[in-house]
Structure 1
Amino acid sequence: MAFTKIYDIEQTPPFRKALPLSFQHVFAMFGATILVPLLTGFDPSVTLFTSGLGTLVFHLVNKGKVPAYLGSSFAFIAPIIAAAKAYGAQGALTGMMAAGVVYALFFAIIAVAGLNWINRVLPTVVVGPVVMIIGLSLTPTAIQEAEKGLLTAFVTAGIVIVASVFGRGFIKIIPILLGTVGGYLFAITQGQVNFAAINKASWLALPNLSILTGHLPVFTWGAVSLIAPIAIASIVEDVGHLLVIGDTVDRDLMHDPGLHRVLLGNGLATIVAAFLGGVPETTYGENIGVLAITRVFSARVVQGAAVIAILLSFVQKFGAAVQTIPEPVLGGITIILYGMIASVGLRNLVEAKVNLANNRNLLIVSVIFTLGVGGILIKFGQYAFAGVGPAAVIGILLNLVLPKDKEADAPASQ
């Protein structure tokens, strides 16, 4: 059953409502989007700029039919660090651009061969659990952040819950924003906010885009071989996200605008981001959670968030201010959002009536859960793959190899 719509994809809320609704998406994606460049040694302001630009490219390719925000992909963290260490940051940028090319290759294959093979390779019995472990695998981060100030985290999460359940009118559709602001104000009373970074930052400054600094990508096969293959795991994640968004907005997005367009949009966004000095991008589960909570599906709202991200990349004081949001506040928000991602994956299984009384289906789901949540690490020579990627690939292989019977396709209620 789809969520009740407040604003549908093609609808545009009035500006007084659209602005805070867009800011909700900015707050939802900001922490994770900025974390990836911080971990990999790239510029957070550049990444903020390229996430906004990449999202606009994605919406252009998909004709504004997929209300998704594109942020930094966690799947690429380890290979980016390895490539940057071995071949330098400019070499790593080439590897990231190559990942975007892999997306484009999948676009071409699907455009020619259609989606039938996708439905066979990625049925709900695989995609549902993968989406669930995407949320579940992120929960340790939420708990670690929350534990640094449990009272602040609980107050933040409590504001989100109260606004979502008991709010009326406009209050009901901006719970994430209210929770972030309310949690931040409470954190100030607890002495958990350090304003030093805000005082040191200038007001306006150009992001250090590679075309401005002269640090353009430098081609090296080694960096390409390290980073490009990870795109496959990210593509599986995109398929799961697209199905979840489709369920949320009650649209068959796999066919209209089509998975091939989604992958092309993501690939072009990643190529543009890497060329400018940013990191690879992917559709963001955090923002899917915002769609589910607010029931505002407007593509214009998400596009507004992209424009805000671009503008904010020029405002150093804002970037510094957002980075002063204490971890317990982020923990309180992500407890809700990451749990929502997992719950939506579960809903996908339930609505597709996947029969878990069948041993074949049960084994596939169980293996994906264990490997994904457990964070399995698989090594092939110098390459290492961990967590969601290997779990998804092994789940796909099990689905293809294990014999299928009529009982496996029978609805769970039978």
Structure 2
Amino acid sequence: MERLDMVMDVGDIPKKSKWFMLSLQHLFAMFGATVLVPFLTGLPPAVALVSSGSGTIAYLIITKGKIPAYLGSSFAFIAPIISLSLTDGGIPAAMVGSFMAGLVYGLVALLISVFGVDWIMKILPPIVVGPVIVVIGLGLAPTAIDMAMNVDGIYSGQHFSVAILTLIVTIIGSLFFKGFFGLIPILIGIITGYLYALVIGIVDTSALQTSWLNIVGASSVNEFFTAIFVMPEFIIPFKDYSPIDAFSMNALVIMVPVSIVTIAEHIGDQMVLSKVVGRNFIKTPGLHRSILGDGVASIIAACLGGPPNTTYGENIGVLAITRIFSVFVIGGAACLAIIFGFIGIIADLISSIPSPVMGGVSILLFGIIASSGLRMMIDNQVDLGQNRNLIIASVILVIGVGGALIKLPLFGIEIEIAGMALAALTGVILNLVLPGKEAGFGNGKMFDSVDSEQ
């Protein structure tokens, strides 16, 4: 594969004078989306930053420093985490579920290492994965709208104006901003919405002011560093909760099907990365290593109390535009994320962002998730004129968006498979049992974009 205008190769070490700014650019690119997930799920944003950075470093190690990918909070797990958090197990149940999802990544990585990649594509062709991704986006739509225009379930025109302004600025930034600013439209939208919300008086800055006063009022170096650096609210297994008590079959059946879909998304990201960088990452260091890296990153996040991690399209965009592919730049961004997670005033700033700001950004982001599912089917030329494909897509969409569920007795307890999880399982089963499996792949060749390794 031809690498055009490459500025820095995967193994190149940047000059010290440029290293910080190059890494900061990646941090900004992932920041808005990464903190949005904990904001929606009720998890500590600082923990999400630390787990994101830690997971990325683990990923780089597992992939032998050969894949320049940054990992951030996964949107696909938002609804499952919220669902599990509302059960008797609460957040610990969600963390156990995230841990099990990471184990599924490890199992799939092992199977790919032994049997290759063809088998997983037969289970997850575009006709299954595409509609399930649509379900992920549309399933989150009510959450985005509620955050955008309601206060405690009651409509607020003032709050909705904040969401609309945030959305408009984010859209304008995505379409018209160039260079560095074109990489961070989400962050710019959040900043603009925050400032407007501050002007109209709906931002609670009390915690932020307290942190600032503690910093400027420090009378010694020790007090200064104590005021700046604050331990994130980690949720540690065996310390803060018992994983055995938090385990449930519901956590298993809710999280595992989602991990299957995110693995398919991961394969797509690796294909795009391979095309951007000009190397066959699916072959070297291997898809099994990159999937294992994702899984270990999610396990680390679960052990810290953060959301599961996944490779970020925003940072792939940074690579494509800058042509700087150095894993040392990615590693620098990961270190900065960890440091930011321990700076208390940053956590207070994130916590002070009013919900309509995040709601406005979410309207676009969740819509993009749904649209990316459609794009997957279009890119692979899936023919919905064929009844088989039309049936699979239709059933997945209605079951997933409609919130269908089934309750099954298992080992003496009743487990519930609902929404996205049920839609994904139904799609996999229909694809396997209905005749004409080739049609589910479309006329596109999913691995054509990954040429032989140079």
Contact kept? 1:198, 1:317, Cα under 8 Å = yes
Tell me by how many angstroms 1:236 deviates: 1.6
Residues 7, 188 of structure 1: alpha-carbon distance in 2 compared, 3 angstrom cutoff: farther
Question: What is the rounded CA distance, in whole Å, between the counterparts of 1:126 and 1:8 in structure 2?
Answer: 37
Q: 1:26 to 1:404 in 2, by over 3 A?
A: same
Matches within 5 A, 1:258-407: 258-275=286-303, 277-279=304-306, 281-283=308-310, 287-288=312-313, 291=316, 296=321, 303-381=331-409, 382-404=414-436
Q: Pick which of 56-65 and 344-353 moved more.
A: 56-65
* TM-score after normalising by structure 2: 0.75
CA distance in 2, matches of 1:36, 1:306: 22
Highest Rg: 1 or 2?
A: 2
SS across alignment from 2:382: coil
Tell me if the contact between 1:159 and 1:182 (Cα under 8 Å) persists in the aligned partners. yes
Q: In the alignment, which residue of structure 2 is the partner of 1:241?
A: 265
RMSD value, Cα: 3.5
Give 2:29's match in structure 1, choosing from 24, 28, 33.
24
217-226 or 25-34: bigger deviation: 217-226
CA contact (8 A) 1:173 1:295 kept: no
Q: Does 1:158 align with 2:168?
A: yes
Question: Separation in 1 of the partners of 2:426 and 2:119?
Answer: 17
Shift of 1:324: 1.1
Please state if 1:36 is matched with 2:41: yes
Letter in 1 for 2:136: I
Partner of 1:181: 191
TM-score under structure 1 length normalisation? 0.82
Consecutive unaligned residues in structure 1, runs of 5 or more:
none
For 1:197, the equivalent position in structure 2 comes to: 207
Does structure 2 retain, via aligned residues, the 8 Å contact 1:71–1:283?
Answer: yes
The amino acid across from 1:16 in the alignment is M
Give the fraction of aligned pairs with identical amino acids, expressed as a percent: 33
CA contact (8 A) 2:28 2:184 kept: no
**One-letter identity of the residue aligned with 1:207:** P
Structure 1 runs of 4+ with >6 Å offset: 4-9, 11-14, 405-410
Q: Name the aligned partner's letter for residue 25 of structure 1.
A: M
For residues 26-175 of structure 1, what are the structure 2 equivalents within 5 Å?
26-38=31-43, 44-62=45-63, 63-65=65-67, 67-71=69-73, 73-74=77-78, 75-79=80-84, 82=87, 84=89, 89=92, 97-148=99-150, 149-175=159-185
Shift of 1:220: 2.4
Gaps of 5+ in 2: 151-158, 212-226, 445-454
Letter paired with 2:308: E
| CA deviation string 1:213-243 (max 9, x = no partner) | 9716646277164534544213222223224
How far apart are residue 340 of structure 1 and its match? Answer: 1.9
Distance 2:173 2:336 in 1: 24
Does the C-alpha gap of structure 1 residues 291 and 5 become closer, same or farther in structure 2, counting only changes over 3 Å? farther
Change (3 A) 1:224 1:197: same
CA contact (8 A) 1:94 1:217 kept: no
Q: How many residues align structurally?
A: 398
| 1:235 aligned partner, one-letter code | S
Question: Secondary structure of 1:220's match?
Answer: helix
SS at match of 2:73: strand
Q: Is the 8 A contact 1:244 1:345 kept in 2?
A: no
CA 1:66–1:138 in 2, change beyond 3 Å: closer, same or farther? farther
Output the CA distance in 1 between the equivalents of 2:100 and 2:296. 11
Does the CA contact (< 8 Å) of 2:47 and 2:232 recur in 1?
yes
Q: 1:257 to 1:241 in 2, by over 3 A?
A: farther
